[in-house]
Amino acid sequence: MSPLPITAPLPVTASLPVTAPLPMTASLARMATIGLTELIDRAALQTRVDRKYVVPLDVLPHLLDQLTPYARVLDIDGERSFRYESVYFDTPWLASYHCAAYRRRRRFKVRTRTYLDSAQCWLEVKISGARGSITKHRLPYDPGDRGTVHPGRDFVDEALVREAVCPPAGSILDPVLITTYRRATLLLPATASRVTIDTGLAWQDGNRSLHLPDLAVVETKTSSAASPADRMLWQRGLRPARISKYATGLAALRPDLPDSPWRRTLRRHFHTTPSVGTAPTSTTHRPVQEASCV
């Protein structure tokens, strides 16, 4: 497996595009704000139910205008959207990916998440359990180590064992996929639920890369019951979609992998055409690509 190029100095990953300005900047500007500490105190939700929606970019301003009376937007030093980079790790035989592809009841995901605007980084282990619940374990991490799990391997192993989800003992965990995007985060105080809105989505797997310039992923994070944001999305005819930044992105870039859980999402939203450039073509005949939401 070719190593991923995670050597660019922070705060920018040079091999992936810098995300464009949000199309809903004006809507976010009209919202009441909340600071990071208060957001964490009021809606940490480390164990939660997530619902994800694939939303055309031009729908977002209307959705945010509806949410304005009910929501507060995360504001840090006057900014209301922030650049993220995630590096996903897996075994050489992609145990994490295949557990998701074959819908194993208990699954795991290991990644580093870097907040590019502040150069803060975390090592995270996410465990998917019964009835869609998700538990996240986080460890502060050196951004310079974001391309390896070695300094935090004991933490990863302890989390996997504690949750009774683990690959074979001593399994290698290599960097497999890099994602970047821009995120705005909302708190809905009445239900202590959160909404994240990700735009400028991009993936990189070695020499293969994929961009979704016209697509947003909206995710609601609740204790169990649907939030007002869920109901507003349903009223617009939008229903939760099977999409995972790691698994769906890797399936799009590697068509030889099993993709049953995300096939409908891939066919409906990941319409790809080669972009103009000099990026080498992969063995799957997918060079650098642009994708749009239909």
What share of the chain in percent tops pLDDT 70? 80
Flag whether pLDDT at 246 surpasses 60: yes
Who's near 227: CB < 8 A, 6+ residues apart? 188, 191, 193, 195, 220
The total of other beta-carbon atoms located within 10 Å of residue 31's CB is 21
Instruction: Collapse the DSSP code of 98 into the 3-class scheme (helix H, G, I; strand E, B; otherwise coil) and give the result.
Output: helix
Topology of domain 46-292, CATH: Hypothetical Protein Pfu-838710-001 (2.40.320)
Q: Would the pTM of this model clear 0.75, i.e. be above it? A: yes
pLDDT value for 28: 93
Q: How far, in Å, CA of 130 to CA of 242, rounded?
A: 16
pLDDT digits (tens, 9 = 90+) for 46-66: 556 889 999 999 999 999 999
